């Protein structure tokens, strides 16, 4: 049982501590006075759970942190659970065992990854988690009377929720998910699931039928293929025989063109030779006569050069004498006899030496000038001769170079070239017009032309009787037959591929069907488990509900015996999809509608206690009734108080129970047997709790 609840800056409570004993404790007060905060304090301290929107909303307005502490006893041991929350949302928790001498910490915090969980240790101690405690020990507003006021079907749903049969729906959905995921994994693995077995069987028959139909068609095509292969082979052999002839025909035409081109080129070459030789003849005409004068001309040139040199020297010498005479004449003009006396020695002389006579010297100068003019004419004549001989010598040398350039060493060689030109001109004149019809005449040009013509004659002999059009028709026939054969090959390939793929599909489908047969058996078993075990109306749920109904009925009947009513026994019975409540006195079956308000409350309370017992609430032996008087008229409220007054009998039994009643109807507890009543009052800053009884 819970021995105390303490709250510090928790919701509307600044500093509140409430002590509890066995039996009934009533919280009275107006709405908003902080009564229901006790439930949040208990569930927060024990499990960290509450009915508020967030953890921070648990802190009293204006405070930085808050806490809730619960002391309770289970199986003779005392425990303390405390949780704190600050304005940042940080939580802390501690769970301890309390003895006379010391407090031993069992767990602190919620570090579940390290195996440390205050909540888990508390759950172990009281044997309930938060969800089970809510169902077993906390009766919210309207739920108490809902048990007996509900329609049979609604009562069944309530019972299912209380004893956990509604969780079968979760398990059933889980199996559906498992089944779906399993099917999906099978589809991912082989592309099908157990729902495709019939489809696969039809596909198997379809593929087998297609294969059966394809095999005769394949055999027919293969027979046609063999026939076409033989025809193509025969035609190809004929083509192989005739193909060399077409090559020789091409060679024949090529050789004819070669002979004609060679003849044309040969004629052009002969014409080039004739032109070349005629040019030689023209170039060398008169060269031998001119070249023969070379030595004589060289001798004449030498003599002419000697004469030119001699006359040039004589002219120079005469010019030197002229210069000397002119100097003497100037001197003579200065030497004149005066009085028959010598101008030099002043001796008497009749006349001067002629060498000093000016007239004599003038005559000598005139004579030398005439001689110089005569020598200059002679020199010019020799120069002209030398030029003439030099030009003739150059012509002789050019003639000699021309003969050397044409490699002609004698007059006989030049005559032979002239004769060869004459013969070649005659040969060209005898050659007919070049065409394919006179190849024989053309072949007479030279030995090379004759060899080509012989090859042409051989090719004509080898291709005699060949019809090129027939050969082309033969090749066309081969191509057509080959096309037909290729089409047959493609058809055979397509059928073989179809058969191969069909066999592959058959193998895949057979393997899939084999595996899906096992899968279907497994899925069927899962469906049976889902229908029989996890269906809320299946055998397991029905059996569980039947056991639970009997257990609740028995326990509720025990509680009713302690409440001093005329009802001796309650029997819960399931019929079809409904659950009915049957009440019995010592002598008869009682209809619910005939019961008084107090008796109905007693029945409802007994049923809740029976349900709580079924859920294992004996560890904590606590039940909280939140506003049980809601929607009750005054008489029924008084009846409820009368029933609650008798709860002390239950609390003093072998299995004592602790009841906490939360209500705003304080007046109904006046003159009641309830011993512990707390009044909750609200102020602007705090909730105030006072023990009034």
Residue 162 has pLDDT above 80, yes or no: no
What contacts 24+ positions apart, CB below 8 Å, involve 637-640? 637/665, 637/668, 638/597, 638/598, 638/668, 639/596, 639/597, 639/598, 639/599, 639/600, 639/601, 640/597, 640/598, 640/601, 640/668
Pairing status of strand 65-74 against strand 2-10: antiparallel
Structure tokens at 85: 């929350």
Confirm if 519 and 134 have CB atoms less than 8 A apart: no
Q: Which residues pair with 97 in a beta bridge?
A: 79, 104
The DSSP H or E segment spanning 561 is helix 539-562
**Does 82 or 403 have the greater pLDDT score?**
82
Is residue 72 within 8 A of residue 3, CB to CB? The reply is yes
Residue 109 confidence (pLDDT) above 50:
yes
Q: Is the pLDDT of residue 581 over 50?
A: yes
Inter-CA distances, 565 with 147, 363, 495, Å = 18, 207, 91
267 versus 57: which is more confidently predicted?
57
The fold for domain 1-127+623-693 equals Rossmann fold (3.40.50)
pLDDT tens-digit readout, 643-672:
776 665 555 555 567 888 888 887 777 777
Q: Which of 130, 132, 90, 124 is nearest to 107 (CA)?
A: 124
On the question of pLDDT at 475 being above 70, the answer is yes
Q: Which of 154, 21, 8 is nearest to 691 (CA)?
A: 21
Q: What pLDDT is stored for residue 16 in this prediction?
A: 93
Q: 347 or 511: whose pLDDT is higher? A: 511
Q: What is the DSSP string of 34-60?
A: SSTHHHHHHHHHHHS--SSS-SGGGBP
State yes or no: pLDDT of 41 exceeds 90: yes
Among 341-345, 462-466, 503-507, 668-672, the range scoring the smallest mean pLDDT is 341-345
Among the listed residues 78, 54, 79, 80, the one whose alpha carbon sits nearest the alpha carbon of residue 66: 54
Q: Given this model, what pLDDT does residue 683 score? A: 83
CB 189 within 8 A of CB 199: no
DSSP for 225-272, written as a single string: HHHHHHHHHHHHHHHHHHHHHHHHHHHHHHHHHHHHHHHHHHHHHHHH
Question: Any idea what DSSP says for residue 543?
Answer: H
User: Sorting pLDDT into bands at 50, 70 and 90, what band is 632?
Assistant: low
How far, in Å, CA of 683 to CA of 678, rounded?
Answer: 16
Residues 6+ apart with CB under 8 A from 444: 450
Give the Cα separation of 301 and 391 in Å (integer): 10
User: pLDDT digit string (tens) for 517-539?
Assistant: 888 888 888 888 888 887 777 78
pLDDT confidence of 617, banded at 50, 70, 90? very low
State the Cα–Cα distance between residues 2 and 623, nearest whole angstrom.
10
Question: What are 412's strand-pairing partners?
Answer: none
**Is the model's pLDDT at 273 over the cut of 80?**
yes
Least confident range from 49-63, 99-113, 130-144, 259-273: namely 130-144
CB 30 within 8 A of CB 16: no
Q: In the prediction, which pLDDT does 80 show?
A: 94
DSSP type of residue 443? T
Who wins on pLDDT, 621 or 515? 515
**How do residues 323-375 score in pLDDT, each as one tens digit?**
888 888 877 777 665 566 655 566 655 555 556 667 787 888 888 899 999 99
Does residue 501 surpass a pLDDT of 60?
yes
143: pLDDT strictly greater than 70:
no
**Stronger pLDDT, 432 or 25, i.e. the higher one:** 25
Choose the weakest-confidence range: 165-174, 206-215, 490-499.
165-174
Contacts of 94-100 spanning 24+ positions with Cβ under 8 A = 94/118, 95/121, 95/122, 95/125, 98/71
* pLDDT band with cut points at 50, 70 and 90 for residue 618: very low
Mean pLDDT of 24-45: 89
Mean pLDDT of 377-393: 90
Residue 606 has a pLDDT of 81
DSSP helix, strand, coil percent of the chain (3-state; round to 5) = 65, 15, 20
Task: Say which CATH class 139-162+538-619 falls into.
Answer: alpha beta
User: Between these two residues, 422 and 143, which has the higher pLDDT value?
Assistant: 422
**Which alpha helices (H) appear in 164-196, and where do they start and end?**
167-190
- Give residue 95's pLDDT: 93
| Pair of tokens at residue 212 | 């059966």
Least confident of 249-263, 344-358, 461-475: 344-358
Residues in CB range of 438: below 8 A, 6 or more apart: 432
Residue 617 vs residue 184, higher pLDDT: 184
Q: How confident is the model at residue 471 (pLDDT cuts 50, 70, 90)?
A: confident
> Which helix (H) or strand (E) element contains residue 29?
strand 23-29
pLDDT at position 377, please?
Answer: 93
Q: How far apart are CA 62 and CA 427, in angstroms?
A: 140
pLDDT value at residue 666: 77
Average pLDDT over residues 153-157: 68
pLDDT interval class at 551 (50, 70, 90): confident
Q: Are the CB atoms for 93 and 36 separated by under 8 Å?
A: no
Q: What percent of the chain has pLDDT over 90?
A: 20
């Amino acid at each position: 049982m819970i021995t105390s609840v303490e709250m510090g800056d928790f919701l509307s409570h600044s500093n509140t501590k409430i002590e509890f004993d066995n039996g009934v404790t009533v919280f009275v007060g107006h709405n908003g006075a902080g009564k229901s905060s006790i439930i949040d304090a208990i569930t927060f301290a024990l499990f960290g759970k509450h009915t508020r929107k967030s953890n921070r909303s648990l802190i009293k307005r204006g405070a930085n942190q808050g806490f809730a502490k619960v002391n309770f006893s289970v199986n003779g041991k005392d425990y303390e659970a405390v949780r704190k929350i600050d304005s940042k949302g940080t939580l802390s928790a501690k769970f301890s065992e309390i003895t006379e001498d010391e407090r031993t910490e069992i767990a602190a915090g919620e570090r579940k990854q390290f195996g440390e969980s205050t909540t888990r240790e508390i759950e172990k101690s009281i044997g309930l988690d938060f969800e089970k405690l809510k169902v077993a020990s906390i009766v919210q507003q309207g739920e108490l009377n809902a048990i007996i006021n509900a329609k049979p079907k609604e009562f069944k749903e309530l019972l299912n929720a209380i004893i956990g049969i509604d969780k079968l729906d979760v398990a059933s959905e889980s199996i559906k998910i498992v089944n779906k995921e399993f099917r999906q994994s099978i589809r991912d693995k082989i592309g099908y699931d157990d729902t495709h077995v019939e489809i696969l069987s039809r596909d198997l028959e379809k593929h087998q039928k297609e294969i059966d139909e394809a095999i005769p068609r394949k055999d027919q095509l293969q027979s046609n293929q063999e026939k076409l292969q033989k025809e193509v082979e025969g035609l190809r052999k004929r083509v192989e025989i005739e193909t060399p002839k077409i090559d020789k025909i091409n060679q024949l035409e090529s050789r004819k063109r070669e002979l004609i081109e060679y003849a044309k080129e040969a004629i052009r070459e002969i014409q080039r030779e004739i032109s070349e030789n005629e040019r030689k003849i023209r170039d060398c005409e008169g060269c031998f006569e001119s070249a023969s004068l070379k030595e004589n001309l060289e001798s004449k040139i030498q003599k002419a050069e000697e004469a030119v040199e001699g006359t040039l020297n004589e002219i120079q010498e005469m010019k030197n004498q002229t210069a000397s005479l002119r100097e003497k004449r100037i001197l003579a003009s200065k030497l004149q006899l005066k009085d028959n006396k010598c101008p030099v020695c002043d001796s008497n002389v009749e006349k001067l030496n002629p060498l000093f006579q000016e007239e004599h010297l003038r005559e000598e100068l005139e004579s030398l000038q005439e001689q110089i003019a005569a020598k200059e004419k002679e020199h010019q004549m020799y120069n002209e001769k030398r030029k003439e001989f030099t030009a003739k010598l150059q012509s002789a040398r050019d003639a000699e170079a021309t003969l050397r350039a044409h490699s002609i060493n004698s007059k006989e060689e030049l005559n032979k070239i002239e004769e060869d030109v004459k013969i070649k001109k005659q040969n060209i004149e005898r050659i007919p017009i070049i065409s394919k019809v006179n190849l024989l005449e053309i072949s007479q040009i030279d030995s090379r032309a004759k060899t080509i013509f012989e090859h042409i004659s051989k090719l004509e002999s080898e291709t005699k009787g060949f019809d090129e059009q027939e050969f082309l028709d033969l090749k066309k026939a081969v191509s057509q037959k080959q096309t037909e054969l290729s089409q047959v090959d493609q058809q055979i390939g397509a059928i073989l591929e179809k058969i191969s793929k069909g066999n592959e599909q058959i193998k895949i489908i057979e393997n899939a069907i084999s595996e899906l047969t096992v899968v279907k058996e497994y899925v069927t078993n899962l469906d049976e488990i889902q229908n029989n075990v996890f269906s809320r109306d299946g055998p397991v749920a029905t059996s569980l509900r039947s056991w639970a109904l009997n257990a609740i009925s028995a326990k509720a009947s025990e509680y009713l015996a302690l409440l001093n009513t005329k009802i001796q026994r309650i029997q819960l019975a399931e019929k079809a999809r409904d659950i009915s409540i049957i009440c019995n006195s010592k002598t008869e079956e009682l209809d619910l509608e005939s019961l008084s308000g107090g008796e109905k409350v007693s029945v409802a309370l007994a049923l809740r206690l029976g349900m709580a017992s079924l859920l294992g609430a004996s560890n904590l032996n606590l039940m909280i009734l939140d506003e049980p008087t809601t929607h009750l008229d005054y008489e029924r409220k008084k009846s409820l108080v009368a029933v609650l007054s008798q709860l002390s009998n239950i609390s003093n039994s072998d299995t004592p129970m602790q009841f906490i009643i939360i209500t705003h109807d304080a007046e109904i507890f006046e003159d009641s047997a309830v011993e512990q009543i707390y009044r909750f009052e609200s102020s602007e800053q705090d909730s105030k709790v006072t023990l009034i009884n």
